[in-house]
Amino acid sequence: MIFSFKEMDETPKSRKFGLLKFPFALREEVIRNMEFMDAFHFSTLSKRSKRLVHNAKLRTHSITFCLNTFVANDKIIVETIKDGKCVMISLADPRESFKRKNPDVIDGRKLANLINEPSDDYKKKLSAHLLFIFHFKETKLHIEKAVSNVHFERNYTEPLTDFFSVGCQKNVRFCINRLGFTAFHFI
């Protein structure tokens, strides 16, 4: 016999299927083939699975944090690279009576409840989790402010502390003061 691979036995003894029994490179390849929501759900299972999604560098096109004149219309939009689909996550407070139900929009609070992190603020928890596990080519903040609704004017810097560090607040305030409708990128 010229070649022998008896010592290279890599087959696990257990016959049970388990993704974590795969070699690292394979696990990451599987993660990279997952749909956005499936990868999100997987990342909420444990610290290890969260790290696994992060390490897999699942590339996603963009994440847009949309702040509206009405808090009820706040949302996160994720555009995936794989199929070019957009995933809309509502950040509306469920206590708001004027909240519109849209079956295509995913409830952000429900998603945040899946994340096992000690945080009272679901928006903060959700945005931090998304920004950690996925690698977005673009991170955008879209601020929509109807000029006619001056009496509904909202303090936009408040929700931004939920999403980002305090350091970017100054820039955001500057843009809001100058423009009624704003969309810009974070670096």
Residues 38-57 that bind another protein (CB under 8 A): 38, 41-42, 44-49
SS3 16: coil
- Taking the C-alpha atoms of residue 139 and residue 131, their distance in angstroms, rounded to an integer, is 9
Structure tokens belonging to residue 90: 């509502």
> C-beta of 76: minimal distance to another protein in Å?
19
E strands, the chain, in order: 59-67, 75-80, 86-90, 105-107, 135-144, 181-186
When asked if residue 82 is in the footprint of another protein (CB under 8 A), the reply is no
- 49 pairs with which residues across the strands? none
Burial of 70 per CB tally in 10 Å (0-12, 13-18, 19+):
middle
Closest CB to another protein among 49 and 60? Answer: 49
# of chain residues touching another protein (CB under 8 A): 40
When asked if residue 80 is in the footprint of another protein (CB under 8 A), the reply is no
CB under 8 A: which stretch of 35-43, 89-97, 156-164, 178-186 binds another protein? Answer: 35-43
When asked if residue 116 is in the footprint of another protein (CB under 8 A), the reply is yes
Residues of this chain that bind another protein (CB under 8 A): 1-6, 8-12, 15-23, 26, 29-35, 37-38, 41-42, 44-49, 114, 116
